[in-house]
């Protein structure tokens, strides 16, 4: 265990804003993330399996991938290294700055943990052709004047395809309404603000709307209130820190912006059904 959850930085691996690798039987992802297993990334990562199977844990849930499946992990999510065994496939890391807001909405604005998506044979061929081209350009054209525009364009083509794959068969969303845009902006603020801001009215003020209007918009788009999402994000982070770090409960409370340690314990117990220490002891056995 460690005093905090490690963050894997893409800039330590590449200055291109993305990285692409092929994994084959015996592949060891330790060459991507050294010295730790459970960690976060400051970027998106995508896995596409073409053969075999692989497994990883993402925010306390075990995810198993099989051939023809696509999966991604968000920067905020704590996850293990993928165990690929005899699997074959692709690993792609992409900086968030390269991902357009409407594409990010597809990946981020969902109520539950994302699940793998199974591709058709034709889709797998299309993805493989694109990723083969991206890998070739990434490895062979780095000295070229147009290296970055080329690999970024190919990376964004992949992102659009992946967004289409994940958006297909989802419930229809009014992605271009004012409510959807406001909900997206709120969830963006929540990622960084949750450590210090717990008040719906503060988020509303930052977005230049009334608390009631923000709550109505977020509930219309996501089905849940602003307070619910603040609580979810807060206690998701609390669970990550309790499980993956050696911080004591007081340190976790302080990290999450709670000056009243007892209030944090009561709030956690009400939301999770057990105390922080009980959660830690049950999940570390």
Domain contains 2: no
Percent of the chain with pLDDT over 90: 41
Residue 2 main-chain phi, psi, to 5 deg: -140, 165
pLDDT single digits (tens) 72-115: 999 878 888 888 777 899 999 999 888 887 888 888 866 567 89
Q: Does position 35 have pLDDT exceeding 70, yes or no?
A: no
Mean pLDDT value across the chain: 85
Contacts of 1 by beta carbon, 8 Å cutoff, 6+ apart:
244, 245, 246
pTM score, two decimals?
Answer: 0.69
Whichever domain contains 35, its CATH number is 2.60.120.280
Residue 33 main-chain phi, psi, to 5 deg: -130, 105
Question: Do 265 and 186 sit in the same domain of this protein?
Answer: yes
Domain contains 172: no
Q: Domain containing 279: what range?
A: 178-283
Domain contains 173: no
Of 136, 167, 198, the position where a domain reaches its end is 167
Residue 16 main-chain phi, psi, to 5 deg: -85, -10
Of 101, 135, 167, the position where a domain reaches its end is 167
Residue 55 main-chain phi, psi, to 5 deg: -145, 145
For residues 168 and 162, what is the distance between their CA atoms, to the nearest angstrom?
Answer: 10
Both tokens of residue 273? 């059904």
Question: Do 100 and 203 sit in the same domain of this protein?
Answer: no
Task: Note whether 58 and 25 are within 8 A (CB).
Answer: no
Question: Do 83 and 149 sit in the same domain of this protein?
Answer: yes
Domain contains 47: yes
Q: What's the pLDDT band for 19 if we cut at 50, 70, 90? A: very high
Domain count of the fold of the chain: 2
């Amino acid at each position: 265990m460690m005093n905090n959850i490690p963050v894997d930085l893409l800039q330590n691996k590449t200055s291109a804003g993305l990285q692409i690798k092929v994994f084959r039987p015996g592949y060891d992802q330790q060459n991507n993330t050294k010295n730790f297993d459970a960690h976060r990334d400051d970027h998106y990562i995508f896995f596409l399996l073409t053969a075999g199977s692989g497994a990883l844990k993402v925010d306390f849930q075990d995810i198993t991938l099989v051939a023809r499946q696509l999966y991604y992990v968000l920067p905020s999510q704590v996850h293990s290294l993928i165990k690929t065994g005899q699997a074959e496939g692709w690993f792609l890391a992409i900086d968030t700055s390269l991902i357009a807001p409407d594409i990010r909405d597809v990946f981020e604005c969902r109520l539950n943990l994302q699940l793998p998506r199974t591709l058709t044979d034709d889709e797998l061929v299309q993805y493989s052709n694109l990723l083969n081209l991206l890998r070739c350009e990434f490895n062979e054209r780095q000295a070229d004047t147009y290296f970055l525009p080329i690999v970024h364009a190919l990376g964004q083509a992949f992102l659009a395809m992946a967004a289409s794959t994940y958006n297909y068969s989802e419930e229809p969303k009014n992605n271009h309404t004012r409510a959807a845009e406001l909900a997206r902006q709120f969830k963006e603020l929540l990622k960084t603000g949750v450590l210090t801001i717990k008040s719906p009215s503060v988020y509303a003020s930052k977005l230049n709307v009334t608390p009631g209007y923000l709550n109505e918009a977020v509930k219309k788009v996501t089905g849940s209130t602003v307070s619910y999402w603040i609580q979810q994000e807060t206690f998701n982070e609390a669970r990550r820190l309790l499980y993956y770090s050696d911080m004591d409960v007081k340190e976790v409370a302080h990290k999450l912006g709670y000056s009243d340690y007892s209030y944090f314990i009561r709030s956690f117990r009400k939301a999770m059904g057990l105390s922080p220490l009980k959660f830690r002891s049950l999940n570390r056995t």
